[in-house]
Amino acid sequence: MADLTVLDDEATWESRVERLWATRPSRFRDAWYELSRNKLALGGAVIVVFFTLVAIVGPALAPYDYAKQVLSDN
């Protein structure tokens, strides 16, 4: 009787593992879910994205070249 219980436990364990892997969301979806629930982390991500965009677009919008000195404005 004990042997049947062990076999049943192994079969149950294998079926649980198969169900866990079958219904698990992708890593990106899981990370986005956790990030969207944490409002402070979401605010931090928005700030990081903002500064990244400013760093990329900023040089194109600047009126002066970063490598030149402009002494006539003083």
Q: 33 in a domain, yes or no?
A: yes
**Predicted confidence band at 68 (pLDDT cuts at 50, 70, 90)?**
confident
Q: 12 in a domain, yes or no?
A: no
Q: 51 in a domain, yes or no?
A: yes
Q: 67 in a domain, yes or no?
A: no
- Statement: the pTM of the whole predicted model exceeds 0.75: no
- Interval 32-42: pLDDT, tens: 888 889 999 99
Number of domains making up the chain: 1
Q: 16 in a domain, yes or no?
A: no
Q: Name the most confidently modeled range: 18-27, 39-48, 65-74.
A: 39-48
Q: 50 in a domain, yes or no?
A: yes
Domain of 34, in residue numbers: 23-58
Write the DSSP string, the chain: -HHHHHHHHHHHHHHHHHHHHHHPPPHHHHHHHHHHH-HHHHHHHHHHHHHHHHHHHHHHH-SS-TTS---TT-
